[in-house]
A and B are shown apart, each in its own frame.
Chain A
Amino acid sequence: MDIDDILREVDPSSSGLPSSTRDLQSLTRVWVAERSTPELQSWPTDGLVERVNGRIASQIERVEALTGDMDPRSNFALIVIQTELERYKFLVRSYLRARLAKVDRHALHYLSTPELRARLSPTELAYATRHQALLHNHYLASFLGSFGPSLQNLNDTSGNITMIDTPDLESAVFIRLLRDARVIGKGVDADGDVEGKTGDIIILRWSDAKPLVDTETAELV
C-alpha cells in the first residue's frame, strides 16, 4: 500500500476507486455497449485501450520474471496472475473483434462522413480504407470493369436510393438506467413515456437509447 492509497482511504470526498478498477469498469462497459448496439461506438478518447494494453504488457513481463525463478511459493501467485491476465485479454480481444465485425459489415458507411470516421481509431481507419480499396479493385477487375463508367461506383446515391448499406439504428436494445430519468421511446402505435428509476432494465429502440447512453444516464446490458 503506498501513500496515495492511504490518503485515499482517509479522504472521504474521493470515490476510493483505484484507477485500475475504474479502467476495468470502463472497459467492461464499452465492451458490453459494443456487443449490444447495432452501430459502431466511438473509440474511447481518454486513452483507455492504451492504458489497458500497457497494463497487460507489464503483467506479461511480470509473468515472465516469475516463471524464471521456479519458487514453489510464487507458483500459486503466478496462476492467479495468469488467470487474471487471460480474462483481461479476453475483454480487450472481444471488444476489438466486435468493432472489427461492425467495420467489416458497413465499411463504406463508416468511411462516408467525417463524423462517422471520427468513431474509428487510427488503426481501424487504416484497416477500413485499405480493405475497401482492395475490395473495390477486386470488383473492378472481376466484373465492374465491363460495365459503363457511370455504373462502376460502389457508393452511388442517385435516384434517392443509396447503395451504402447502413446499420439499422432503430433496432431494439436493452439498457439499464444509472440514475432516475424520464425515458421517451418511439413506438408503432404510440410513443412511450416512462419515469424510470435507477436500476430499471428497459427495452427501447437504439435511436432513443443513444442520447441516454451518451449522457451516461444509462448503460447497455
Chain B
Amino acid sequence: MALPLPQGLMPTEVAFLCEMEMLFTPPSDTVTPDHDAAITCMRNRKLRPACQPNLQGDTPALKPPHRAQMPLWLALLLKKQRRANIVPPAWLHPASLAEIIHHETNIDPQAFSPPPPPPTRAEGRTGRARPFQENIRSTREAPKPGDDPRLAPPFLPSCTADAPAGYLPYHWLELAEALLAHAADDVPQQAEVRALLRDLQEVRAAKMRGSTQSLEGGGGVVVLRGVGAMELAESRGFVLGVVDGVRKLGASAEATRRDEEANGGGGGRYGGGRGEFEDSDEEMEF
C-alpha cells in the first residue's frame, strides 16, 4: 500500500498539478440546446451543491456567449465532448513566444526568463477592462500582499487569457503540450507555436544542464529563477543526485570547516591560522 515512488514529484504528477491551472473557455457556438441545458443545469440551485463542495469550489455557468473560468481538466473534458473551446493564454501567442526566446538567447543567455509578476502587479500592468463577471471574481481571488493563504501555481491565474504576455508561467511546458495535443484547433498558428516551443524548450534545457555547474561548487544555495515545473521534474533525479553526491564526498571537509569556524568565532577562518588548515584540507581531498 505504501507508495513505491522515489522522493520528489514524477512528471505524471506534475502534469496532474498542471491540470488544476485555470483557463478561459467560451462554450462553443455549436452547443445544442440540449447540451447547453446539461451544462447549465449544474448551475441551478438543485444541482449546484453537488458541484460546489469539491475541487475548485465553484462550477461556472456555461452560457454560450460568455466565457467562463475553469480548471484545465474540465476544459479538456468539455473540449473533447465538443461543448466548449479554449482561449489559449496570451503567452502562447507566437509573438510572445518569440519575444521570450529573444530574451532567453540574446538579453540574458545565462538565466531563465523571469516568471510572471505577482498577479496584483500584473493587473495594473495590462490595465485591461474586465468585461466578464468571472474576471471580476478572479481579481478578487488574486492574492494580495500579506494575505493568507498565499497562493502559488497552479492556483494563480497565470494561464488565463488575461495573464500578461511575454512571461512563461510555472507550468508552461505541460500546459502548452496539453493544449496542442487536445485543443490544437483553438491555438492560433499552431505550426509556428510548435516550432517556437521546441526552440524554447531546447534553449532552456541547455540552461538547465548548465546550471549543474553551479551545483558542483558546493555553494549551498542554487537559485533557479523562472524555471518550469516539467523542467524541474525531468532533471530532478540528476540535480538532487549531484547535490547529495557532492555533499557526501565533501562531508569531512565540511565538518573540518565548521569546526574551524566554531573555534575561530565565525570569521576566524580567514585569520592567521588559515595556511595550516588549508594544508589539512588538501590532504583530505587526496
Contact = CB atoms under 8 A, between A and B. Distances in A.
Interface in B38-82: 38-39, 41-42, 47, 49-59, 73-74, 77, 81
B56 A184 contact: no
B224 A190 contact: no
Interface in A102-140: 103-104
Given A21-B58, A76-B81, A203-B215, A55 B53 contact: yes
B159 to A, nearest CB: 15
Interface residues of A, number: 83
A15 B55 contact: no
Contact of B16 (A15, A90, A196): A90
Contacts of B59: 80
Contact of A203 (B5, B118, B151, B239): B239
B9 A36 contact: yes
Given A77-B50, A178-B150, A188-B246, A204 B58 contact: no
Interface of A: 9, 12, 15-22, 24-26, 28-29, 32, 35-38, 55-56, 58-59, 62, 66, 72-77, 79-81, 83-85, 87-88, 90, 94, 97-98, 100-101, 103-104, 168, 170-174, 176, 178-179, 183-194, 196-205, 208, 216, 219, 221
7 contacts: A15-B144, A36-B8, A37-B7, A58-B53, A59-B50, A97-B2, A100-B1
Given A9-B137, A15-B147, 12 more contacts: A17-B149, A20-B55, A20-B56, A25-B155, A66-B50, A83-B73, A97-B1, A172-B244, A187-B254, A188-B220, A189-B257, A203-B215
Interface of B: 1-5, 7-9, 13, 16-17, 19-20, 34-35, 37-39, 41-42, 47, 49-59, 73-74, 77, 81, 83, 115, 118, 137, 140-141, 143-144, 147-152, 154-155, 215, 217-227, 229, 232, 236, 239-240, 243-244, 246-247, 249-251, 253-254, 257
